[in-house]
């Protein structure tokens, strides 16, 4: 498993988070993987039980009831209920919330480009490159001019669809300056596999320069 997980590193890795939202999602993934692993180990144990040597008369029925009812049913149900509760809490924490330091950006998809406009600088429009300040929450208002697309920057936040006639809002934040890869993770016709973009997180000085129309 550890060897396989080394292949998850990279520009589109979901287990190499670079922001608060992506970190909560990655933690949720690890918790669910651990819970699934515990249930898997229990199932293997229950499968191995019939191959054990016979015990003294009268012990087998009692032990079978303990394993099948006490662990075979109760343990998986408890683990799954805990995972469901944890998943709901994490999911609720990812909803955008109003804040004085939150910036808003509009992202419109169409085959085959993303167009970004900025409330902080209405005259600036960028294509296939989203500029944000590092260390500050950003609300991305996502829509589309044609078919359904999907906005996804795996290292910064979860995936959210762009739906015609509707606006969905995604909260993302980058811990530090850098460039983060994004993809449109929804099949939308021939050419969709090259439908990519990037997010550039700026330092405070570079962000101020960007808002002034200067190249950071």
pLDDT in tens, 163-209: 999 999 999 999 999 999 999 988 888 877 788 999 999 999 999 99
Burial of 125 (0-12, 13-18, 19+ CB in 10 A): exposed
The listed CATH number (2.60.40.420, 2.40.160.10, 2.60.120.260, 3.30.460.10) that belongs to domain 103-211: 2.60.40.420
184, 195, 197, 202, 211 from 191: Cα distances, Å: 11, 7, 14, 30, 32
Q: So where are the chain's domains?
A: 15-93, 103-211
In tens, the pLDDT along 21-79 reads 888 888 888 988 988 888 888 777 776 766 665 454 455 556 566 666 666 677 788 88
* Sequence-distant contacts of 121-129: CB under 8 A, at least 24 apart: 121/210, 121/211, 121/213, 123/213, 124/210, 124/211, 124/213, 128/196, 128/197, 128/198, 129/197, 129/198, 129/199, 129/200
Residue 124 has pLDDT above 70, yes or no: yes
Residue 148 has pLDDT above 90, yes or no: yes
Q: What predicted TM-score, i.e. pTM, was given to this entire model?
A: 0.75
């Amino acid at each position: 498993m550890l060897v396989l997980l080394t292949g998850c590193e990279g520009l589109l890795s979901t287990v190499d988070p670079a922001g608060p939202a992506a970190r909560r999602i990655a933690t949720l993934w690890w918790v669910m993987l651990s819970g699934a692993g515990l249930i898997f180990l229990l199932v293997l144990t229950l499968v191995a039980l019939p191959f054990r040597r016979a015990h003294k008369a009268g012990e087998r029925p009692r032990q079978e009831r303990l394993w099948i009812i006490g662990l075979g049913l109760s343990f998986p149900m408890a683990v799954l209920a805990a995972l469901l509760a944890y998943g709901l809490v994490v999911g609720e924490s990812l909803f955008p919330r109003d804040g004085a330091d939150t910036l808003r950006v509009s992202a419109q998809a169409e085959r085959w480009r993303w167009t970004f406009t900025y409330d902080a600088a209405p005259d600036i429009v960028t294509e296939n490159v989203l500029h944000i300040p590092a260390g500050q929450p950003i609300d991305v208002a996502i829509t589309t001019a044609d078919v359904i697309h999907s906005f996804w920057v795996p290292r910064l936040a979860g995936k959210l669809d762009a739906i015609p006639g509707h606006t969905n809002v995604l909260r993302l934040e980058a811990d530090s300056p850098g460039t983060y890869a994004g993809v449109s993770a929804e099949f939308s016709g021939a050419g969709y596999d090259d439908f990519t973009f990037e997010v550039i997180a700026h330092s405070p000085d570079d962000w101020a320069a960007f808002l002034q129309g200067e190249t950071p």
